[in-house]
Amino acid sequence: MDFAFGPEDEAFRREARAWLEERLTGAPGRRDWERELGKGGWIGLGWQEDGYGNRRADLTRQVVWAEEYARSGAPARSGHIGENLLAPTLIAYGTPEQKRRFLPPIAEGRELWCQGYSEPGAGSDLAGIRTTAARATDTGAYRITGQKIWTSLAHEADWCFVLARTEPGSTRHHGLSFLLVPMDQPGRVEVRPIRQLTGTSEFNEVFFDGAVARAGHVVGGEGNGWRVAMSLLGFERGVSTLAQQIGFAEELGRVLRTAVATGAAGDPVVRDRLVRLWAELRTMRWNALRTLGGSEGPGSPGSVGGSGGEGAPSVAKLLWGGWHRRLGELAVQVRGAAAAVGPADRSAALPYELDAAQHLFLFSRADTIYGGSDEIQRTIIAERALGLPREPRGRP
């Protein structure tokens, strides 16, 4: 299956392409670029409501924009967590006051968000939350204490949506709430970047020591955090997956060209792996289009998987996580011994520099772990989609 693009869609594509070509000059700062996107009306195309400074676009035009953005080589988005995760969640579960307060700054690219889910010792076990939020009897505000980890872009974020335990003595998915927490709380919120093998530090540890969230900043009502959090994970696998796949196709093309240049393509085993990766990438695209083309759309409230069924997000994660990791392995294999040597134009900014293939190999090692490990995804598919017996749980 594929989308049929009509004349109006192609006109929209030309508009998007022209806008990107005109604005992509130099190296814009991440915040400046988000504001530029907001001014152009390119944030919030897929929201189910407008009137917050965004313009709505149908699914076909969302796909067009995602494709053109990926092909243009535009900077990686720093506002995607607010736009693609929090905003749809607020539209589904937020109060009118919460929508009026938080959606316009996201649409304008003025406020950036991070996601406070994973914790030390419970990276893939989201129900193992230990961060607590105690409500003050006088003001109704929440005081949050605990630690989050692997928090992407926390060092740049203005706000964090935090899953915390608001019911003392509760366990697992009971007694959780979804709180909106300002990051600018010196002494109460501390962000520590985590240095990775690639030399970069987009992941962080975040420590909350009595951080304050207002009484009106709990989404979906106190104690309903699990339902809200699960719906948000459904929104995570939306149109952006198609843009991700365009990036994957470009990486595969580079690996293929390297294989030809080094002579590795003469090896029938390497050729087989290249063809298999190409075929699997096409399968991922068809699966994404099938999921997006359903009647409800991805991330429908009350469903983890949206129109693709309960296990759709987990199937997608399994597909692309393993695929990207295998691509990284092949990227260094086709280079041979040269893959073990760093580039000649080293910079003093890092103790070592990586070329594109080396970065791909090292970073993609984490693809089958973050966002829920492969083991967790298979359990979700087995229990929620296939209806198999639940895996035995240990005592909390």
Please report, to the nearest 10 degrees, the dihedral formed by the alpha carbons of residues 306, 308, 311, 313 taken in order.
Answer: -70
Residue among 34, 111, 156, 236 flagged as catalytic: 236
CA–CA separation, 18 and 72 (whole Å): 10
CA–CA separation, 203 and 197 (whole Å): 12
* Residue 387: both structure tokens together: 């209806």
Contact 80, 223 (CB under 8 A): no
Strand boundaries in 90-173, DSSP class E: 113-116, 132-135, 142-148, 159-165
Let me know the angle formed at the C-alpha of 31 by 30 and 35, rounded to the nearest 5 degrees.
120
* Residue 102: both structure tokens together: 């938080």
CA-closest candidate to residue 211, choices 170, 127, 154: 154
* Residue 220: both structure tokens together: 């979906």
CA–CA separation, 211 and 136 (whole Å): 12
CA–CA separation, 18 and 24 (whole Å): 10
Count Cβ atoms below 10 Å from residue 43 Cβ, excluding itself. Answer: 27
Terminus-to-terminus CA distance in the chain, angstroms?
45
Q: Annotated catalytic, 296?
A: no
CA–CA separation, 266 and 260 (whole Å): 8
Q: In this structure, which amino acid lies at residue 229?
A: A
Establish how many alpha carbons lie within 13 A of residue 37's alpha carbon, considering only the half-sphere containing its beta carbon. 27
The 3-state DSSP class for residue 102 equals: helix
Contact 357, 196 (CB under 8 A): no
CA-closest candidate to residue 46, choices 30, 28, 66: 66
Catalytic (active-site) positions: 236
